[in-house]
Amino acid sequence: MRAALATGVNIPLSLVEREIPEPGPGEVLVKITACGVCFTDLSLVRGHFPFARFPVVPGHEITGAVAALGSGVPGLSVGDPVGAQFLYDSCGHCDYCVSGDQILCPAKRITGIVKDGGYAEYGLFKGGYVTPLPAGLDPVAAAPLMCAGLTAFNGLRRAGATPSSRVAIIGAGGVGALAIRFAVAMGARVAVIGRSAGGEANAKELGAELYVASRDTDPAAALKAWDGGANVILNSAPSNEAAAATLTGLAPDGTLVLCGYDNTPLTLMAQPMVLNRLRVMASPSGSPHDLRDTLAFSAQHDILPRVTPIALDDVPAALDAMGSGSGGGRRVITFA
C-alpha cells in the first residue's frame, strides 16, 4: 500500500510503499476512503508534539470501510463504513476511561502522532475507537468531522452553549466553519470574529448574525455591544493572541474555550475575569461517544464541511500551503 510518512521534525513527508498491516486481537483493518489534512498534522512536522514517535503516518480525520477484523471486535463487520479519530486508544481502566472520557486518559495515544494514521491506503485501529458512520453520510466530506467537527461540537457543548446562548467563533477555517454551523443548528445566536472584512459574506452565509473584522474593530468591544457580550467564545484560530483579544467581550459568567492555539503563553487580564466570573478552558477533540454525538448531530442537521479532494502525492504541497496560510477549503486526501 502507499503511505505518506513523517520521518522527523521539519523534514518533508516522504511517499513510501508499505505492507498492508494485519489486524491483531482487538484491531480493525480499515481500507481508507478519505483522510482530512488537519493543522495538527503541520504542527507534528513542525515539532510541536514532543511525544511524537517518528517515523509515523500522519492523519486523524479518517473515513473508510472495515477490510478485516482481528479477534474480539464486537459490533463491526467487514464492509461497514467507519471513521477513526485523533484518539487512537487509552488505558481502558482509569476513572476517565471508565466514565467514557477516554480523551483525558493519562495513557492515551494519538493517531497520526504516536500511532500510524490515515495518510495511507490502509490503517490499523482499535475496535473501541472506530466509530460507525451514520447511513448515507458522504465519507469524503465527512472525514473532517472526525477531528475538526468533533473538536468544534464538543468544544461548544463543554463550554455550555445552549439554544439561548450568544456564541462567538474566532476564525472560520476547518474547525471554525463547522463550529458556526453547529452553534446555529443548536439554536444559538452566532457572531464570527475574523481578521479582515473579506470573511463577512462567508460567515453570514454560514448563519452568523454579526461579523467583526478584528483588523478594523476591537473584537471585545464589538462583542460587548452585542446584547452584553457572548456567553461562549470559541477560538478556532491557531492564535492565542486572537483569543485573548476577545476576553472582555464575554458576558458575565461566560466561557472562552480554546480549540485553536499556538505555541506561546496565553496572556489574559485577570481583573475582568474575577469581577465577571469568567472561565477560560481548553478542549481537546473528544472521546468515542462524543464522536458518535457529533456524527449524529451532523447527519440530523445535514452539516458537512466544504472539502477540496487531493491525491496522496499532493499532501506535502498541501501541508506547505497550510503553513504559508494560503486558503482553500479543508483538504481531504482521497483514495481510489
Closer residue to Zn ion (CB): 207 or 316? 316
Closer residue to Zn ion (CB): 147 or 332? 147
104 interacts with Zn ion by CB under 5 A: no
Q: How far is the CB of 97 from Zn ion (least distance, A)?
A: 3
Near Zn ion in 184-243, by CB under 5 A: none
Near Zn ion in 256-275, by CB under 5 A: none
Near Zn ion in 65-94, by CB under 5 A: 90-91, 94
1 interacts with Zn ion by CB under 5 A: no
97 interacts with Zn ion by CB under 5 A: yes
Q: Which helix (H) or strand (E) holds 157?
A: helix 148-158
CA angle 112, 114, 117 (to 5 degrees): 25
C-alpha–C-alpha distance, residues 179 and 305, integer Å: 10
Closer residue to Zn ion (CB): 105 or 130? 105
Is the separation of the CB atoms in 180 and 203 below 8 Å? Answer: yes
45 interacts with Zn ion by CB under 5 A: no
Q: Which helix (H) or strand (E) holds 43?
A: helix 39-45
CA distances in angstroms from 79 to 105, 224, 317, 335, listed in the order given: 30, 51, 32, 16
Q: How far is the CB of 182 from Zn ion (least distance, A)?
A: 16
Which residues, 6 or more positions from 336, have their beta carbon under 8 angstroms from its beta carbon?
none
Stretch binding Zn ion (CB under 5 A), from 38-46, 201-209, 264-272, 295-303 = 38-46
Residue 70, burial from CB neighbour count under 10 angstroms (0-12, 13-18, 19+): middle
Q: How many residues bind Zn ion (CB under 5 A)?
A: 8
Q: How far is the CB of 119 from Zn ion (least distance, A)?
A: 13
One of 40, 165, 231, 248 touching Zn ion (CB under 5 A): 40
Q: Which three cell numbers stand for residue 330?
A: 479543508
Stretch binding Zn ion (CB under 5 A), from 104-112, 178-186, 264-272, 297-305 = 104-112
**CA 146 from centre of chain:** 7
Near Zn ion in 138-167, by CB under 5 A: 147
